[in-house]
Amino acid sequence: MALIPAEAWIVLKPLIFFIIGLAIYAIVVFNLYRFVARRDIFELNLGQYNRFQHPFLAKTFGTMLYMVEYLLFFPLFLMFWFIIFSAILIAITTTQDVSTILLVSMALISSIRVTSYYKQALSKDIAKLLPFTLLAIFLIDIGQFSWGQSINLINQIPNYVDTIKYYFVFAVSIEFILRIIHTIKTSIIKRRKN
């Protein structure tokens, strides 16, 4: 039995593309879930731009920089992840209900953020749960994906702009409250050590 290169290419071509696709997907998920699951997402260190010598002015300006970091950059971060998780769900889902997809996406992101303040290992597990579960579903039932259904779901999203706004305000508020609690807790622990 001789192996024919042309026939080998026909047989192996789908396998090669599957391997490349799975590897790329796994690498992207691995790198991105670790980012979303960190409690301290941003390492901008805007405090380095605080040049005030007076303690009150230094604290006030430092607080403003801190708020910029979490009130300006966090919503952008949240929007990015909301789009990513929604896109994954839209691509794989069998439901026609966009509101459920949006709800699950925002609940997932918010639960990842909340658990990151408890244990970052837990938030990492939650962050990788959806992408790898969806990969497993896709591999088991590869015919489930439908461009038509995905485009139909995407076209329905503008009908939910108000819902998305409420979700964003709520998620940003949760992050802000957790950040304040974490800052207070950290400063109390530092004071007790001194």
Nearest to 128 by CA among 161, 85, 158, 157: 85
Please give the distance of CA 153 from its chain centroid, rounded to a whole number.
20
pLDDT of residue 90: 82
pLDDT of residue 174: 93
Per-residue pLDDT reduced to its tens digit, 113-149:
999 999 988 988 888 887 888 778 777 876 666 777 7
pTM above 0.95, yes or no: no
Res 42 pLDDT > 90: no
Return the structure tokens found at 41: 């997402």
DSSP sequence for 37-103: T-SS-----GGGG----SHHHHHHHHHHHHHHIIIIIHHHHHHHHHHHHHHHHHHH-----HHHHHH
Are 10 and 26 spatial neighbours (Cβ–Cβ below 8 Å)? no
CA distances from 171 to 101, 107, 146, 148, 174 (A): 16, 9, 30, 31, 5
